[in-house]
Amino acid sequence: MNIKGIQKLTLLDYPGRVACTLFTGGCNFRCPFCHNSMLVIDPEKNLSHDIGEIMSYLERRRGVLDGVAITGGEPLLQPDIADFIRDIRALGYPVKLDTNGSRPRVLSELIQGGLVDYVAMDIKNSREKYGVTVGIPDYDTSAVEESARLLMQGDVEFEFRTTVTRQLHEADDFVKIGEWLCGDERFYLQQFKDSGSLIDSAVSGWDDETLRSFGEILKKYIPHTDIRGI
């Protein structure tokens, strides 16, 4: 496992739990608004954390922490992700996984193996604008669509989420997302925040009122839509 960062305590990353968040290096997308650009573009500039030390920390914090969130980068690019999660679960921790949905086969294996308790999948944009939003012209969304179906038809707890930017998102995109993913799942629109480490520093967020209006559009199709970050 290529772990490039660790947040030892968070109340935000795993809903309803006091968690530790682990950040993997490397990603197959190049989203302009990505706030972890160093993990995406040049992850080897950051030293990898020793896995033994991470496991020792988690063992010591049993009873204080009650969950582990694995994010990135894109965690499902890690070839030993399943074994790593097994080791974490052996300590008694439930695991939340963040993913861009581009590797449905790996996601399916983790779910079928009972290795993940909660999945947060990014929905970058409407399918028509996925390529420009993930920084890959003519991106084929079939893998993302398969991952979304897998979650919607399965039993694992999950959420969809979209980070909304002025340059890439407009009202019609949320009509199209709603028509695509219409259902009873949880969907969060996230206000864009400039972390100071963006892939494209020209990206900016919509005002809160506009973001709320996008949420109202999406609620017509996905009633459990909410806003984060305002």
> How many CA atoms lie within 13 Å of 161's alpha carbon, on the beta-carbon side?
18
Q: What is the DSSP string of 89-111?
A: HHTT--EEEEE-S--HHHHHHHH
Q: What digits encode the pLDDT tens for the residues 164-173?
A: 999 999 999 9
- CB of 218 within 8 A of CB of 174? yes
Q: Is the dihedral of CA 116, 120, 123, 124 positive or negative?
A: negative
What pLDDT does residue 45 have? 65
The yes-or-no verdict on residue 162 having pLDDT over 70 is yes
Whole-angstrom CA distances from 193 to 29, 160, 162, 203 are: 19, 18, 13, 10
Provide the whole-model pTM.
0.95
For the domain with range 3-228, which CATH number is right: 3.20.20.70, 1.10.3720.10, 3.40.50.300, 2.40.30.10? 3.20.20.70
Strand boundaries in 11-100, DSSP class E = 19-24, 67-71, 95-99
Q: What digits encode the pLDDT tens for the residues 95-142?
A: 999 999 999 999 999 999 999 999 999 999 999 999 999 999 999 999
Helix (H) or strand (E) holding 149: helix 142-153
Q: Write down the mean pLDDT value for the chain.
A: 94
Q: What is the DSSP string of 126-138?
A: -GGGHHHHHT-TT
Q: What digits encode the pLDDT tens for the residues 5-59?
A: 999 999 999 999 999 999 999 999 999 888 777 777 766 666 788 999 999 999 9
